[in-house]
């Protein structure tokens, strides 16, 4: 080719590249087209000779492709758009349960109607990028949350973010003017760098690794300077989940090298670990004191909160997460058999925690603490209202929320509560007639001769059982009212003293009225869901006493929906989606943890958040002496009655389905542990015993295989001979439902 021809071809190529600068589809549309075609980011990156991280950034709108890749990418999108037009791209969820377990709408916002409160007009700029607008408030008015539109952070998959990052940009920069996609939520400019960052030091240079692969330079050389930098330059945090709530404070995760840089110990001493904090007089504490920063009563521990008093509606608080101090407990955040967090790099750790934060919320401590905080974040206890007389804004109780601490009910509180002081003799064990004993199932029975003839015992596990039970559950919002000889009302939440011992059920099934599955004896305290089930079975109930709550509502609905969406999105990232054929579902579940080990840890944390959040509703004392008040009792969310109602609903739902299975197949469970049910079976999978209709579909009202909360998955399979050996070895104390997954190997190892 001559030089003249070479020059002409170069000019044509330049012209073509110029034409390719026409606007590409919006980032959300780019991702939709790729997913509609069933393509992965790796496939597109390989064809375009780009990094997979770059494709993820194009789909997230963080960067734009440059020539010559832009022209090829545009051609690809154009071809995909012709095959998969937006108006024909539907997503029908057919994997829903007919029971109350899967009624979520998929929205992460509260179910109550929005409360409209007046607010000043925002400064003239795009509504999508408008900052918070705080109502006027007097110097004596209580602190209330600013009334702003809720702008949830977009969920990011670990699979769609950078595995490694070498690019750097300054912490504070002028936002580029880019059109905001109509289908994607706007990113709050105050928190454009995500909810958190992992601070790491390499070769003496401190860096903050953010969600999405962004890396910021950290100039701070002390903890006070680090806090100042975070609040003024880092642009970290998360918008409120409810218009009456508060924005989440930024979190900095400190690696071992960061701890050394800022004068903190890499590990706590034994005394510090027991105390859960650094000792008074530590040099870092003195630095914070001189800089006029404060710590909460928990002190400087694994989840330290450093703050100054709020400036109006603007908070001045930064939370530190220190993994080497056991902030991320292996039981909640990691794989006990193969721990990954200790060796996880800063970028991967940012993606792991950032994905959890975007789908659930910014972690506030343990998963249990975060689960409880999520309840109040979705249903804040106060709201801003304007006094018509003075024109000032003040805080008022928010409808549909838990707003006050009420006098405890003796039968609902755990042992050691101050209200029980002097009521019983020392070492007295309260009976069901004195204490509400609504707990999960822990029941097991020997196999019959006919059941021993079957080759296997198969365990099935209810997905997100506690969260599913919370869906549509009506709970008390106000204080209790004591009544005698009441008429039972299944729509009225409360605790009822009633005798259910006259109810006779099939002895091959556990009783639905006691956690141990034994028939109750005489009067006992039960929550509304348990008594309502007795009525559903056709029996008369005559309570002699009750504590009822006339103010009530579906307080946990928004909480369930948020966790359900997080769970389903994470399962989809692991290759398990709604609508899968049952055999394909079982195959996908068998390998889903290997599909993306980091995402599997996110899934574990989400499930622990649901379970721990319910448990926190009846938090027990740790070091407080008997009958002395402990800090949790001061919370409006210390509600043992709500926890009891959730656990009762879980137990009743399982019993209802076991009855349906028995009616359809004649099969009865041999063991139950919390949310796991074990059945004898001719084959090794749940498909070998779960009932079907004449057309091959799952029988209505029974256990159904699927990914949605309330549906079931395969927990484990052992031989019938193994089950008999467990009974012979351990006697009646064994519950094979607890060990069917690994055959008891984990328990043997611990012994």
User: How much is the pLDDT for 81?
Assistant: 84
Give the whole-angstrom CA distance, residue 427 versus residue 434.
14
Give the whole-angstrom CA distance, residue 382 versus residue 89.
41
Region for residue 542 given its phi and psi (left: phi exceeds 0; alpha: psi -120 to 50; beta: otherwise): beta
User: How much is the pLDDT for 55?
Assistant: 86
The strand pair at 215-217 and 205-210 is best described as antiparallel
pTM flag (> 0.85): no
Residue 486 burial (CB count, 10 A): 20
Give the whole-angstrom CA distance, residue 513 versus residue 432.
11
Alpha helices, H only, 108-232: 223-229
Strands of 456-462's sheet in order across = 441-444, 671-674, 676-681, 456-462, 712-719
CA angle 594, 600, 602 (to 5 degrees): 160
User: How much is the pLDDT for 426?
Assistant: 85
Handedness of CA 264, 269, 272, 273 (dihedral sign): positive
User: How much is the pLDDT for 3?
Assistant: 62
What 3-state DSSP class applies to 133? coil
Give the whole-angstrom CA distance, residue 22 versus residue 91.
30
Residue 84 burial (CB count, 10 A): 15
Look up residue 538 and give its two tokens. Answer: 């056709």
Residue 100 burial (CB count, 10 A): 14
CA angle 463, 466, 470 (to 5 degrees): 115
Give the whole-angstrom CA distance, residue 218 versus residue 228.
11
Note whether 615 and 440 are within 8 A (CB): no
Residue whose pair of structure tokens reads 């509504």 in the numeric block: 127
User: How much is the pLDDT for 365?
Assistant: 93
| Cα torsion through 565, 568, 572, 577, rounded to 10 | -130
User: How much is the pLDDT for 83?
Assistant: 77
> Kind and range of the H or E element at 432?
none
User: How much is the pLDDT for 37?
Assistant: 82
Give the whole-angstrom CA distance, residue 466 versus residue 460.
16
The DSSP call for residue 721 is: H
Residue 374 burial (CB count, 10 A): 22
Could you tell me what percentage of the chain is helix, strand and coil, using 3-state DSSP and rounding each to the nearest 5? 35, 15, 50
Give the whole-angstrom CA distance, residue 75 versus residue 86.
17
pLDDT mean values, one per 10 residues, the chain (751 residues): 61 53 80 84 84 81 80 85 64 38 37 36 32 33 35 40 39 35 61 96 95 94 97 95 93 97 96 93 96 95 94 86 96 92 94 96 96 97 88 90 96 96 91 97 95 96 97 96 97 97 94 96 97 96 97 97 97 95 96 93 98 97 90 97 98 97 96 97 97 93 97 97 93 91 63 33
Across the strands, what pairs with 462?
712
Residue 418 burial (CB count, 10 A): 14
Query: Among 684, 730, 675, 721, which Cα is nearest to 443's?
Result: 675
Give the whole-angstrom CA distance, residue 322 versus residue 298.
14
The DSSP call for residue 230 is: I
Handedness of CA 262, 268, 272, 273 (dihedral sign): positive
Burial class (CB in 10 A: 0-12, 13-18, 19+), 651: buried
Give the whole-angstrom CA distance, residue 453 versus residue 442.
25
What 3-state DSSP class applies to 466? helix
Burial class (CB in 10 A: 0-12, 13-18, 19+), 590: exposed
Query: Among 464, 516, 439, which Cα is nearest to 671's?
Result: 516
Give the whole-angstrom CA distance, residue 713 versus residue 654.
14
Region for residue 55 given its phi and psi (left: phi exceeds 0; alpha: psi -120 to 50; beta: otherwise): alpha
Give the whole-angstrom CA distance, residue 623 versus residue 698.
50
Note whether 516 and 674 are within 8 A (CB): no
Report DSSP letters for 87-124, one per residue. GG---------SSGGG---S--S-SSPPPP---PPPPS
Report DSSP letters for 543-581, one per residue. -SEEEE-SSEE-TTHHHHHHHHHHHHHHHHHTT--TT--
CA angle 585, 590, 595 (to 5 degrees): 95
Look up residue 736 and give its two tokens. Answer: 């094979």
Give the whole-angstrom CA distance, residue 520 versus residue 505.
12
Query: Among 331, 396, 501, 314, which Cα is nearest to 141's?
Result: 396
Residue 174 burial (CB count, 10 A): 5
Q: What is the CATH number of domain 13-88?
A: 1.10.260
User: How much is the pLDDT for 115?
Assistant: 37
What 3-state DSSP class applies to 359? helix
> Kind and range of the H or E element at 672?
strand 671-674
Ranges for all domains in the chain classified under CATH 1.10.260: 13-88
Note whether 309 and 292 are within 8 A (CB): no
The DSSP call for residue 377 is: H
């Amino acid at each position: 080719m001559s030089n003249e021809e070479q020059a002409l071809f170069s000019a044509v190529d330049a012209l073509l590249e110029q034409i390719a600068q026409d606007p590409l589809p919006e980032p959300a549309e780019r991702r939709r087209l790729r997913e509609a075609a069933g393509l992965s980011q790796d496939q597109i990156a390989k064809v375009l000779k780009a990094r997979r991280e770059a494709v993820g950034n194009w789909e997230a709108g963080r960067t734009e492709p440059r020539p010559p890749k832009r022209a090829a990418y545009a051609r690809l999108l154009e071809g995909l758009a012709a095959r998969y037009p937006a108006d024909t791209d539907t997503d029908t969820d057919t994997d829903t349960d007919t029971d109350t377990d899967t009624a979520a709408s998929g929205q992460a916002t509260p179910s109550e109607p929005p409360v409209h409160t007046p607010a000043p007009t925002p400064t003239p700029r795009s509504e999508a990028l408008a900052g918070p607008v705080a109502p006027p408030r007097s110097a004596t008015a209580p602190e209330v949350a600013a009334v702003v539109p809720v702008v949830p952070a977009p969920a990011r998959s670990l699979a769609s973010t950078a595995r490694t990052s070498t690019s750097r940009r300054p912490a504070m920069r002028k936002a580029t003017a880019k059109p905001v996609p109509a289908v994607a939520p706007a990113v709050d400019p105050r928190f454009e760098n995500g909810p958190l960052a992992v601070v790491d030091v390499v070769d003496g240079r401190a860096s903050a690794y953010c969600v999405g692969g962004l890396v910021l330079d950290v100039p701070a050389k002390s903890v006070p300077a680090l806090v100042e930098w975070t609040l003024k330059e880092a642009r970290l945090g998360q918008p409120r989940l409810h218009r009456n709530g508060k924005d989440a404070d930024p979190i900095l995760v400190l690696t071992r090298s960061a701890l050394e840089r800022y004068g903190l110990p890499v590990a706590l001493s034994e005394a510090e670990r027991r105390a859960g904090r650094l000792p008074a007089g530590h040099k870092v504490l003195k630095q914070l004191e001189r800089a006029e920063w404060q710590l909460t009563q928990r002190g400087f521990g694994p989840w330290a909160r450093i703050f100054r008093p709020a400036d109006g509606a603007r908070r001045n608080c930064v939370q530190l997460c220190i993994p080497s101090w056991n902030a991320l407990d292996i039981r909640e955040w990691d794989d006990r058999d193969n721990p990954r967090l200790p060796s996880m790099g800063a970028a991967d750790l940012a993606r792991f925690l950032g994905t959890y934060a975007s789908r659930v919320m910014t972690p506030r401590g343990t998963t249990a603490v975060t689960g409880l905080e999520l309840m109040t974040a979705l249903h804040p206890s106060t709201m801003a209202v304007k006094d018509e007389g003075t024109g000032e804004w003040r805080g008022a109780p928010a409808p549909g929320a838990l707003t006050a601490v009420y006098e405890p009910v003796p039968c609902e509180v755990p042992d050691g509560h101050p209200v029980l002081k002097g009521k019983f003799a020392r070492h007295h064990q309260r009976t069901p007639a004195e204490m509400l004993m609504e707990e999960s199932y822990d029941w097991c029975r020997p196999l019959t001769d006919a059941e021993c003839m079957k080759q296997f015992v198969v365990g099935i596990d209810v997905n997100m059982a506690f969260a599913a039970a919370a869906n549509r559950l009506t709970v008390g919002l106000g204080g209790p009212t004591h009544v005698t000889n009441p008429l039972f009302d299944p729509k009225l939440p409360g605790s009822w003293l009633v005798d259910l011992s006259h109810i006779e059920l099939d002895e091959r099934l556990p009783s639905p009225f006691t956690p141990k599955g034994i028939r109750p004896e005489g009067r006992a305290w039960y929550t509304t869901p348990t008594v309502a089930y007795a009525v559903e079975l056709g029996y008369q109930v005559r309570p002699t006493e009750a504590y009822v709550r006339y103010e009530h509502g579906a307080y946990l609905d928004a909480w369930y929906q948020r966790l359900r969406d997080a769970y389903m999105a994470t399962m989809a990232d692991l290759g398990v989606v709604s609508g899968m054929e049952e055999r394909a579902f079982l195959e996908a579940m068998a390998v889903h943890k290997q599909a993306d080990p980091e995402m599997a840890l996110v899934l574990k944390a989400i499930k622990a958040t649901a379970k721990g959040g319910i448990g926190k509703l009846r938090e027990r004392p740790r070091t407080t002496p008997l009958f002395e008040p402990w800090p949790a009792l001061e919370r409006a969310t210390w509600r043992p009655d709500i926890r009891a109602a959730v656990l009762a609903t879980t137990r009743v739902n399982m019993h209802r389905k076991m009855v349906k299975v028995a009616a359809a197949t004649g099969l009865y469970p041999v063991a139950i542990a919390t949310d796991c049910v074990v059945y004898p079976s001719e084959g090794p999978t749940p498909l070998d015993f779960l009932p079907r209709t004449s057309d091959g579909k799952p029988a209505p009202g029974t256990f159904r295989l699927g990914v949605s909360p309330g549906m079931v998955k395969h927990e484990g399979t052992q031989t019938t001979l193994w089950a008999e050996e467990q009974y012979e070895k351990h006697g009646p104390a064994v519950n094979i439902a607890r060990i069917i997954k690994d055959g008891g190997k984990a328990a043997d190892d611990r012994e």
